[in-house]
Amino acid sequence: MTDATPSTKSRASGALTVEDLKVHFGGSRTLFAKGAALVHAVDGVSFSVPAGKTFGVVGESGSGKTTTALAIMRLVPITHGRVILGDTAISDLEKEELRAARRRFQIIFQDPYSSLDPRKRAGAVVREPLDLMQIGKPAERDGMVAELFGQVGLRPEQRALFPHQFSGGQRQRIGLARALSTRPDLIVCDEPVSALDVAIQAQILNLMAKLQRELGLTYLFISHDLGVVQHICDQIAVMYLGQIVEQADRISLFTNPRHPYTKALLAAVPTVHGNKRDRRSRMRLKGDPPSPINLPPGCRFASRCPMAEARCREASPPLEDRGGGHRVSCFLV
């Protein structure tokens, strides 16, 4: 598997560009109604990830971060926009072209307990993409699987075990080996450590960082855990109700959050250093997010924002660069 190393694989091939991505569900005519409700799950998301870097997407449940990941993987239909990996517009591919391109982008799912086929031995789980994509000669594939097991910190003889015979962290290592098997440019990580103990989370994150350095991988990392995102990501986007409201490099986002929603998310993270002054000045959110079916005019965060003004409820603030690549969607910054 030496052709997966950065020295023989173009680093530019792993660059990811997402342009005005929209994913809407429903809205079609039915037998009993003129039209079903239209859900704006993702509504105009744009960002780019340089090859070999990690881009994090955070937000509360229902913000659209997982749907964004699934759309990039072409696992849900894209309503509008483009997804470009290297020089290939994967959003335009269909049928055999899409199937052939899938070896370039793989996904690691959230729950290692349910993402692996319990009826297959671990070696067969990792080998399956090699057979489907016809990677390497059939006689070589067992050796490739053994090499993949070693890359993720598992013993080659563990290929004969079933998924239930592994711990949660080991199962996620199998999922990572399976994703690596096609020698991808991009790996989409959908909450890959949220089901694991904290100590095991650190082991998996460190392993992912090591593999990124060795193989030149590009990661799109979806998470609700700000601590995890801070540990592994280079750039971070904060999503709220289908849109990015703030995007910056890791240091800027955590030391100088500028959108009220980002400030509220960071304030909700428990710390051991908190004092009474910090608790009094903490930004608190009230109420629930608006419905993605009946979106309000103006800023989608206005109904929960303690700083909102009249103009916030009338016009939607654009996502603009406020200096140093720090993009914010707020009139009050």
Q: What is the pLDDT of residue 26?
A: 83
Question: Residue 273's pLDDT is what?
Answer: 56
Q: What distance in Å separates the CA atoms of residue 100 and residue 326, rounded to the nearest whole number?
A: 36
- Cα separation, 180 vs 211, in Å, equals 9
Please give the pLDDT value at position 5. 40
| Cβ(222)–Cβ(191) below 8 Å | yes
List the CATH code of the domain at 2-113+121-256.
3.40.50.300
User: Is residue 293 within a helix (H) or strand (E), and if so which, with residue range?
Assistant: none
Whether pLDDT at 11 is above 80: no
Q: How confident is the model at residue 3 (pLDDT cuts 50, 70, 90)?
A: very low
How is 110-164 classified by DSSP, letter by letter? S-TTTSS-TTS-HHHHHHHHHHHTT-S-GGGHHHHHHHHHHHTT--GGGGGS-GG
β 186-190/105-108 pair status: parallel
pTM: 0.89
Q: What is the pLDDT of residues 189-198, one digit of tens each?
A: 999 998 888 8
Predicted pLDDT of residue 6: 40
Report residue 165 as tokens.
């015979």
Is the predicted pLDDT of residue 54 greater than 90, yes or no?
A: yes
- pLDDT over 70 for what percent of the chain? 89
